[in-house]
Amino acid sequence: MASVMVVTGGNRGIGHAVCSRLAGEGHKVLLVARDPERGRRAAESIPGDVEFVAGDLSTTASVRRLADELRARCPRVDVLIHNAGLWPSRRVLTSDGVEESFAVNHLAPFLLNHLLEDRLGRVVQVSAGLYVKGRAEPGRTSVGADFSAMRTYADTKLCNLLTVPLFAERWREAGITIDAVHPGVIRTGLGDRGGPTGWLLKAVKRKWATPEEGAGPVVALAGGTGTGRYFDRAEEAPLQGPALDGELARRVWAEAETLTAVR
């Protein structure tokens, strides 16, 4: 029986390239995207066993609906790849009252991990090397206090990465594994802007690696067996700075439990 792979943010960029690689290896792929039209088009463009699943990751209610849909379709999720990400250009609060990129980049993976953990085999968290520039402040990061596009993105990635070792420990006896990976600086639509700044960014991005190159480390980890590790592309790398703060990690975890109302 083919392994079941769930990929969030699979309609474009690294996510689409990951879905294509996994389907090409013979896996059953569930491509999760928020926009139904783009998601279906993306799934149909990939040869193999690929299904589109509508999933909005910006609120706890919509994440719960996605989890219900995945549970209805999959008695087991062999690999869950958290690829979806948001690089905000301005401070936007969701209907839950949290900053939007915090919701998508951190709370959504946290909640999906909990809601699907009874049928998970492995989790791969797509991270970002910019986590080293982040600062996790429970009660402030969640609402986008002192918002700045670069720092807020880094803050959310740090929050997310702080929970990876805690999930690894939580799941150790159950045999579920989780690793995080920075796929490199990749030429995708993440962080695109309008106006002169956007034009300059597009020019710079031409020198960056392709989504297909970024998909390589993610797909490699999908077949891995280790847990609690962080990879900088193909190489395992030690966490740095605040990502090593175990007490901070527990505070970030406790806040996420409260905000998502997980038991």
Q: Which residues are catalytic?
A: 153
The dihedrals phi and psi of 90, each to the nearest 5 degrees, come to: -155, 160
Please give the C-alpha separations between residue 76 and each of 18, 29, 79, 116, in angstroms, as whole numbers.
Answer: 20, 12, 9, 9
State how far the Cα of 200 lies from the Cα of 194, in Å rounded to an integer.
Answer: 10
Among the listed residues 150, 224, 230, the one whose alpha carbon sits nearest the alpha carbon of residue 182: 230
State how far the Cα of 184 lies from the Cα of 194, in Å rounded to an integer.
Answer: 24
Please give the C-alpha separations between residue 202 and each of 17, 189, 199, 207, in angstroms, as whole numbers.
Answer: 20, 9, 5, 9
Owner of token pair 């990749």: 186
Owner of token pair 């915090």: 102
Among the listed residues 78, 79, 85, 55, the one whose alpha carbon sits nearest the alpha carbon of residue 68: 55
Buried b or exposed e, range 34-43, using 16+ CB within 10 angstroms:
beeeebbebb
∠ CA 222-225-229, nearest 5°, is: 85
Among the listed residues 59, 40, 36, 37, the one whose alpha carbon sits nearest the alpha carbon of residue 50: 40
Three-state SS for 60? helix
